[in-house]
C-alpha cells in the first residue's frame, strides 16, 4: 500500500520528480558489473582506435605535414576525423548516458563541450583532405566515402545546433519550453546514434579506399602492404566494435524492465 501511496504522490508531482532518482530503479550487482565493463571496454576501444590510427599514419604513411607536402597533409585527415567523429563524439554520447554522479545540467554541458571540441577536429580534417586533393589534382567529392562524409558532417552540424538551442538555450524559459524539449529528446537521441553509425560507416569506407590504393602501390614491399592491410582492418574492426558497444550502452535502460519509469526522467 506504501508503494501505491508513493505512486499517487508521484503522479501529482510529476514535474518535481524530473531530476530525482527513481527509487524503483535500484541497481543490482549485475547492473554495476555491466556498467563497469561498458565504461572500461569503451574507453579502451575509443582511445585504442585513435592510437592505432596514429600508429598507422606515423609509421606506415610517413607522418604529418601541412601544405608543404600534400601527401603527408592527407594523413591529418584520418586521425582528425577519427578523433572528432569517433573518439570525442563516442565519449560525449557515453558520458551523457552513463554519468550518474553529477547534476544533469553539468552532464549536458560536458556532452556539448566534447562535441564542440570535435568541431575544429572535423573542420581541420576536412580542410586537410580538400587541400591535399587540390594540390595533388585528385578529384574531390567523387567517391562514396566523400558523399557519406558530407551527410555525416551535415547531420553533425544539424544535431549540434538543434541540441544547443533545444536543450541549453531553451532552458531560459524552463517551464514554457518543457513540452518542446521533451519532444526533442528522442529525436536528438535517435539521430545522434544514427549519426555515430554513419561516421563509423564513412570511416570504414575511407579505410577500404586507402587500403585498395596501398595494395596497388608498387613502391611498397609486399610485407609492408600486408602489415598495412592488417592495421587498417584492425582499425575497421575496432570502429565497428565501438559502434556496437555505444549502441548497447545507450539503448539499454538500466531500470529493471518490470519497473515504471518516467520518460521525462532526463531531459
Of 6 and 123, which has the nearer Cβ to a second copy?
A: 6
Three-state helix/strand/coil letters over 2-59 = HHHHHHHHHHHCCCCCCCCCCCCCCCCHHHHHHHHHHHHHHHHHHHHHHHHHHHHHHH
* Listed ranges 83-91, 106-114, 123-131, 138-146: which one lies at the site for a second copy (CB under 8 A): 138-146
* Listed ranges 49-57, 79-87, 156-164, 253-261: which one lies at the site for a second copy (CB under 8 A): 253-261
Alpha-carbon span 66 to 128, nearest angstrom: 7
DSSP 78-143: HHHHIIIIIIIHHHHHHHHHH--SS-HHHHHHHHHHHHHHHHHHHHHHHHHHHHHHHHTTPPSS-S
Is 111 a binding residue for a second copy by CB under 8 A? The answer is: no
The DSSP output letter for 255 is S
Of 221 and 258, which has the nearer Cβ to a second copy?
A: 258
Among 134, 140, 190, 224, interactor with a second copy by CB under 8 A = 190
Of 100 and 252, which has the nearer Cβ to a second copy?
A: 252
Cell of 147: 558523399
CB of 216 to a second copy, least distance (A): 7
The DSSP output letter for 66 is S
* Listed ranges 62-70, 103-111, 161-169, 200-208: which one lies at the site for a second copy (CB under 8 A): 200-208
Q: Do residues 177 and 263 lie in contact, with contact meaning Cβ atoms separated by under 8 Å?
A: no
Among 121, 205, 228, 238, interactor with a second copy by CB under 8 A = 205
Is 144 a binding residue for a second copy by CB under 8 A? The answer is: yes
Among 2, 3, 174, 222, interactor with a second copy by CB under 8 A = 3
DSSP 132-154: HHHHTTPPSS-SHHHHHHHHHHH
Is 71 a binding residue for a second copy by CB under 8 A? The answer is: no
Distance of CA 25 to the CA centre of its chain: 27
Among 2, 12, 101, 176, interactor with a second copy by CB under 8 A = 12
Provide the b/e sequence for 6-21 (b: ≥16 CB within 10 Å): eeeebeeeeeebeeee
CB of 251 to a second copy, least distance (A): 3
Is 236 a binding residue for a second copy by CB under 8 A? The answer is: yes
Cell of 264: 521525462
Strand ranges in 71-196 using DSSP code E only, listed in sequence order: none
Is 98 a binding residue for a second copy by CB under 8 A? The answer is: no
Chain contacts with a second copy (rule: CB under 8 A): 3-4, 7-8, 11-12, 14, 142-145, 147-148, 151, 155, 178-179, 182-183, 185-187, 189-191, 193-194, 197-198, 200-201, 204-205, 207-209, 211-212, 216, 229, 232-233, 236-237, 240, 243-244, 247-248, 250-253, 255-264, 267
Amino acid at each position: 500500500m506504501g508503494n501505491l501511496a508513493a505512486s499517487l504522490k508521484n503522479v501529482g508531482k510529476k514535474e518535481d520528480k524530473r531530476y530525482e532518482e527513481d527509487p524503483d530503479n535500484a541497481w543490482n550487482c549485475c547492473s554495476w558489473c555491466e556498467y563497469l565493463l561498458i565504461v572500461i571496454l569503451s574507453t579502451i576501444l575509443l582511445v585504442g582506435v585513435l592510437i592505432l590510427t596514429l600508429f598507422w599514419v606515423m609509421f606506415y604513411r610517413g607522418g604529418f605535414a601541412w601544405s608543404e607536402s600534400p601527401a603527408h597533409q592527407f594523413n591529418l585527415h584520418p586521425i582528425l576525423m577519427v578523433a572528432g567523429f569517433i573518439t570525442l563524439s563516442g565519449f560525449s554520447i557515453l558520458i551523457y548516458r552513463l554519468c550518474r554522479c553529477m547534476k544533469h545540467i553539468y552532464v549536458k554541458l560536458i556532452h556539448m563541450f566534447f562535441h564542440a571540441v570535435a568541431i575544429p577536429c572535423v573542420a581541420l580534417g576536412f580542410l586537410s583532405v580538400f587541400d591535399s586533393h587540390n594540390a595533388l589534382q585528385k578529384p574531390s567529392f567523387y567517391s562514396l566515402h566523400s558523399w557519406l562524409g558530407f551527410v555525416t558532417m551535415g547531420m553533425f552540424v544539424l544535431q549540434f545546433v538543434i541540441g544547443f538551442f533545444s536543450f541549453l538555450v531553451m532552458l531560459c524559459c524552463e517551464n514554457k519550453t518543457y513540452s518542446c524539449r521533451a519532444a526533442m529528446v528522442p529525436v536528438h537521441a535517435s539521430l545522434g546514434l544514427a549519426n555515430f553509425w554513419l561516421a563509423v560507416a564513412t570511416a570504414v569506407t575511407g579505410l577500404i579506399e586507402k587500403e585498395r590504393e596501398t595494395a596497388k602501390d608498387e613502391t611498397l614491399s609486399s610485407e609492408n602492404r600486408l602489415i598495412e592491410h592488417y592495421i587498417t582492418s584492425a582499425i575497421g574492426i575496432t570502429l565497428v566494435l565501438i559502434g556496437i558497444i555505444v549502441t548497447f550502452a545507450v539503448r539499454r535502460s538500466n531500470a529493471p524492465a518490470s519497473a515504471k519509469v518516467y520518460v521525462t526522467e532526463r531531459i
